[in-house]
């Protein structure tokens, strides 16, 4: 394992509720993004049931294959939570109660009243494991560095996992391995298809300079063109400029820029300090996107929105009101939206084609309205 | 394989974008739910990269372990889409262009102009594969039934996968295997913790009748108590009644009932036909939940909502206005919300404790407000 050039990592997502589809595994996507940026990209993810023997085999096999094995979930207090047992079996070590972990658990529960005896399972440790503190939950994590393979157990609750990752597991990994972090730049465009964008980009996409990877992805908020390198991040800048130029006015931003903040900034420049919305037949897709937009200096502020027939009665008070309605699908399953803006900034009623189906179609409708704002103001 | 009593299933989620965290694997949760109900629960899920050799090994190993191997993704037209190649290698069969698949692809592209030559890869098939029609996309699926193991390839685009699953893969599986579908009943409660709920439920949860499984899960919208059986669904009804009784007024519904529709129904009974909201510091969590609530006869209709300071100026016109504000966290990281209802139905200002952190805390705040409506009206 120690002789490979670049350390390899895999993830075990533990919990029968994942396999039953009761929970969507957002932890895997979060850790996938983080590990890619750290220069330790995931080679595989497995979702596994709460079954001690299955977990023991999975930990043992993963520790043979990969330098780093991360696991989330199965650290709760109930008899279903078997990640500790599974890893202990894979290591051939015995679980023992750790006095300082027990003291910390009892301290934590003092504020809430008596500690249920089942929580004592969370004070168990094997000799080669170092505990990872969980400041916002009862489940401590484990860090095991043995036989040139590292294994980390983290809680399944996303907020607890993310904090433990950022404060403990990631710094541990950075100290333990020589890592070449991945620099990532993204150019985003709306109103152009994936293959048309690829044609316009030409060599920038199909034949980037040595040491740089380029890719193109279709998303609800448009096309994302992504450049990555484990080398000097500054090498990506000329590619970003070329991509923006090639995509012309379809390009709306880079990296963390999103369509909502881009549209709100355009409104601000056009003299509107506040925006309200009135949407029909989109199940509040526009509301949901605007409500979570980050506020920015000089940009219009989203103050709320009305749905369907409600908008006629409510007449929201804002400098500008954006109206969106989804029109019925045509015989070929294609959809159009009708968009207009009234108030201190105006856009006459415009019909736009949108792609996709299901909930995706509703989000695309909302993004098409936001795209029209940033283009026309 | 044929001798096992109950067929086993596993899923391969294919695409490097999953491992990089660019895409959250919602397909796995959807198929997990569907397969559990079908009586063919998943024993494992793997996320795999777009790597022909890795995929070939994964397909071969999965076909040895499991009666049914489902795969999503990797059926697009580009050179990164290698699910066809991976499965062909695992089967030891050769890919050949299928004349009728090619004709169908050309027909599909006629409406859009010329077909890019790369799409011809989507007309490839191996001799033992039967194509699965994709009425809303260019990627056909595959159904392979060989050596007593079934493998199905489906597209990664969720809407295409769901349609192909419902119209083709699921019916194929139902014909192919003797399946005992799983009946599921859920009782939902808000305002009670997981362990307190478990204590109140006692034997109903810890010792259900033979052939029935019981479980308890903490969700943003409260506690879900879940009873399942592969036997007679009617056997679950007395357990649902006992659980509702044990949970008392904390129980708010069963199965598909959710807090938003329950609260809107209570408002309707209290004489309000329309509801608007005004929320502060919750990033529109209440809006997002209410906007996607299903309309129901006699229930109030959500007409829209205002955010933060915007609410003061906007004064939405509705029979009832629900106000929610998230208060700052205390020294122990605990949060409270302030909730009130004004208009044709009223609830005086009430402060409530909420649990959780991050985005979860915002959703919990919104659900706490909806819970107050259904309790107090």
Instruction: Give the count of Cβ contacts less than 8 A between chain A and B.
Output: 215
* Token digits of residue B195: 């362990």
Residue in the block written with tokens 């152009």: A192
CA–CA separation, A17 and B69 (whole Å): 19
Chain A residues 140-169 within an 8 A CB cutoff of chain B: 158-159, 162
Helix extents (H) in A15-98? 16-19, 26-38, 52-65, 83-91
* Mean pLDDT estimate for chain A: 91
Please report, in tens digits, the pLDDT of each residue of chain B (377 residues total): 344 468 999 999 999 989 999 889 999 999 999 999 999 999 999 999 999 999 999 999 999 999 999 999 999 888 889 999 999 999 999 999 999 999 998 888 887 677 878 888 999 999 999 999 998 888 999 999 999 999 999 999 898 999 999 999 999 999 999 999 999 999 999 998 888 899 999 999 999 999 999 988 888 899 999 999 999 999 999 999 999 999 999 999 999 899 999 999 999 999 999 999 999 999 889 998 998 888 899 999 998 888 886 655 555 678 899 999 999 888 767 789 999 999 999 999 999 999 877 778 899 999 999 999 999 99
**Chain B residues with beta carbon closer than 8 angstroms to that of A283:** 291-292
Instruction: Tell me whether residues A28 and B21 touch, CB distance under 8 A.
Output: yes
Contacts of B112 (CB under 8 A, 6+ apart): none
For the beta carbon of residue B238, count every other beta carbon within 10 angstroms: 12
Spatial neighbors of B201 by CB under 8 A, at least 6 apart, are B216, B225, B243, B246, B247
pTM of the predicted protein model: 0.87
Q: Which of B289, B144, B50 is nearest to A287 (CA)?
A: B289
* pLDDT at residue A328 in the model: 87
Higher pLDDT, A116 or A30: A30
Q: Determine whether the interchain pair B44/A41 forms a contact, defined as Cβ–Cβ distance below 8 Å.
A: no
Packed helices B194-201 and B237-247: angle between N→C axes, nearest 10 degrees: 120
Chain A contacts in chain B segment 340-369 (CB below 8 A): 356-358, 360
Q: Are B336 and B352 in contact (CB under 8 A)?
A: yes
Q: Token digits for B263?
A: 């609260």
Subunit contact B25:A29, Cβ cutoff 8 A: yes
Q: What's A233's DSSP letter? A: G
Structure tokens at B366: 């919104």
Per-residue model confidence as pLDDT tens digits over A266-283: 999 999 999 999 999 998
> pLDDT of A48-71, one tens digit each?
999 999 999 999 999 999 999 999
Residues of A in contact with B117 (CB under 8 A): none
* Residue A219: pLDDT band with limits 50, 70, 90: confident
- Would you tell me which residues 285-324 of chain A have a C-beta closer than 8 angstroms to some C-beta of chain B? 285, 287-288, 290-292, 301-311, 313-318
Residue A91 has pLDDT above 90, yes or no: yes
Q: Which residues of B touch A111 (CB under 8 A)?
A: 332
Residue A163 has pLDDT above 90, yes or no: yes
Q: Contact A208/A227 with Cβ under 8 angstroms?
A: yes
- Helix H or strand E segment including A154: strand A149-154
Question: Are B24 and A20 inside 8 Å of each other by CB?
Answer: no
Helix axes B83-91, B52-65, angle to 10 degrees: 50
C-alpha to C-alpha distance for A117 and A97, rounded to whole angstroms:
13
CB contact under 8 A, B310 and A302: yes
Can you name the residues that pair with B27 across neighbouring β-strands?
Answer: none
CA dist A283 → A89, A263, A289, A337, B61 (Å) = 49, 21, 12, 14, 43
Of the residues A17, A161, A304, A311, the best mutation for testing chain B's interface (the one with the most B CB atoms within 10 Å of its CB) is A304
* B positions 203-242 inside 8 Å of A (CB): 217
**How many Å apart are CA B54 and CA B58, to the nearest integer?**
6
Tell me the β-bridge partners of A12.
A46, A71
Nearest Cα of chain B lies from the Cα of A54 at a distance, in angstroms, of 10
> Are the Cβ atoms of B316 and A333 closer than 8 angstroms?
no
- Take residue B32 and report the two structure tokens written for it: 């997990």
Buried b (16+ CB within 10 A) or exposed e, B158-186: bbbbbbbbeebbbebbeeebebeebbbbb
**What pLDDT is attached to residue A2?**
40
Inter-chain CB proximity A302 and B301 less than 8 Å: no
Put simply, whether B75 touches A (Cβ < 8 Å) is no
Query: Residues of A numbered 162-201 whose beta carbons fall under 8 angstroms of chain B's beta carbons: which are they?
Result: 162, 195
Residue of A36, A44, A304 with shortest CB distance to B311: A304
* CB-CB neighbours of B257 under 10 Å: 14
Nearest CA in chain A to B115: A195
pLDDT of residue B218: 83
> Does the beta-carbon distance from A309 to B315 stay under 8 Å?
no
Average pLDDT value for residue range A23-52: 95
A49 touches chain B (CB under 8 A): yes
The residue among B346, B207, B363, B372 whose CA lies nearest residue B290 is: B363
Q: In this complex, do B44 and A46 lie within 8 Å of one another by their Cβ atoms? A: yes
The secondary structure of chain B, three-state, reads: CCCCCCCCEEEEEECHHHHCCCCCCHHHHHHHHHHHHHCCCEEEEEEECCCHHHHHHHHHHHHHHCCEEEEECCCCCCCCCCHHHHHHHHHCCCCEECHHHHHHHHHHHHCCCCCCHHHHHHHEECCCEEEECCCCCCCCEEEEEECCEEEEEECCCHHHHHHHHHHHHHHHHHHHCCCCCCEEEEEEECCCCHHHHHHHHCHHHHCCCCCCEEEEEEECCEEEEEEEECCCHHHHHHHHHHHHHHHHHHEEEECCCCHHHHHHHHHHHCCCCEEEEEEECCCCHHHHHHHCCCCCCCCCEEEEEEECCHHHHHCCCCCEEEEEEECCCCCCCCEEEEEEEEECCCEEEEEEEECCCCHHHHHHHHHHHHHHHHHHC
Cβ atoms of A89 and A151 closer than 8 Å: no
**For testing contact with chain A, the best of B213, B305, B309, B326 (most A CBs within 10 A):** B305
CA distance linking residue B160 with residue B141, whole number of Å: 10
Measured distance CA(B205)–CA(B199) in Å, rounded: 9
Of A28, A42, A159, the CB nearest to B358: A159
CA dist., res. A209 & res. A228, Å (int)? 11
Nearest to A46 among B45, B159, B318 (CB): B45
Q: What is the pLDDT of residue B91?
A: 98
| pLDDT (0 to 100) of residue A109 | 81
Instruction: List Cβ neighbours of A31 (8 Å cut-off, separation of 6 or more).
Output: A11, A42, A70, A72, A165, B21
3-state secondary structure of A255: coil
C-alpha A76/C-alpha B352 separation (Å) is 26
CB A13 within 8 A of CB B47: no
Most A CBs within 10 Å, among B11, B17, B25, B46, to test the A interface:
B25
Q: What ipTM was reported for this prediction?
A: 0.85
Average of per-residue pLDDT across A144-169: 95
Nearest residue, CB atoms, A45 vs list B19, B116, B332: B19
The Cα–Cα gap between B75 and B66 comes to 22
Among B45, B291, B314, the residue with its CB nearest the CB of A47 is B45
Q: List % helix, strand, coil for chain A (3-state, nearest 5).
A: 40, 25, 35
Ranking A21-30, A356-365, B339-348 by mean pLDDT, the lowest is A356-365
Residue A279 has φ and ψ, to the nearest 5°, of: -125, 150
């Amino acid at each position: 394992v120690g002789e490979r050039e670049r350390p390899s990592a895999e993830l075990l997502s533990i919990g029968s509720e994942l396999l039953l589809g009761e929970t969507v595994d957002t932890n895997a996507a979060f850790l996938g993004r983080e590990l890619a940026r750290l220069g330790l990209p995931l080679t595989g993810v497995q979702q596994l049931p709460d079954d001690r023997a299955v977990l023991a085999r999975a930990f043992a096999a993963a520790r043979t294959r990969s330098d780093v094995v991360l696991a989330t979930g199965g650290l709760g207090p109930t008899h279903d939570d078997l990640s500790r047992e599974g890893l202990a079996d894979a290591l051939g070590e015995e679980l023992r109660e750790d006095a300082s972990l027990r003291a910390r658990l009892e301290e934590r529960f003092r504020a809430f009243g008596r500690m249920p005896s089942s929580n004592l399972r969370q004070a168990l440790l094997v000799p080669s494991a170092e505990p990872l503190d969980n400041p916002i939950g009862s489940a401590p994590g484990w860090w095991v560095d043995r036989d040139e393979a590292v294994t980390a157990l983290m809680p399944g609750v996303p907020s607890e996992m993310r904090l433990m990752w950022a404060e403990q597991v990631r710094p541990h990994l950075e100290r333990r391995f020589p890592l070449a972090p991945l620099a990532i730049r993204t150019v985003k465009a709306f109103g152009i298809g994936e293959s048309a964008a690829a044609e316009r980009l030409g060599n920038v996409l199909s034949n980037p300079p040595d040491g740089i990877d380029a890719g193109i992805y279709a998303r609800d908020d448009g096309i994302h063109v992504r450049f990555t390198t484990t080398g000097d991040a500054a090498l990506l800048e000329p590619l970003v400029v070329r991509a923006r130029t090639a995509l012309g006015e379809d390009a709306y931003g880079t990296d963390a820029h999103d369509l909502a903040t881009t549209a709100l900034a355009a409104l601000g420049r056009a003299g509107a300090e506040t925006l309200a919305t009135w949407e029909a037949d989109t199940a509040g897709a526009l509301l949901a996107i605007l409500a979570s937009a980050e506020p920015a200096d000089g940009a219009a502020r989203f103050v709320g929105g009305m749905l369907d027939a409600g908008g006629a009665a409510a007449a929201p008070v804002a400098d500008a009101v954006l109206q969106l309605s989804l029109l019925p699908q045509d015989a070929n399953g294609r959809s159009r939206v009708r968009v207009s803006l009234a108030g201190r900034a105006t856009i006459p009623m415009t019909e736009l084609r949108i792609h996709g189906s299901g909930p995706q179609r509703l989000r695309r409708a909302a993004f098409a309205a936001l795209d029209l704002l940033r283009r026309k103001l």
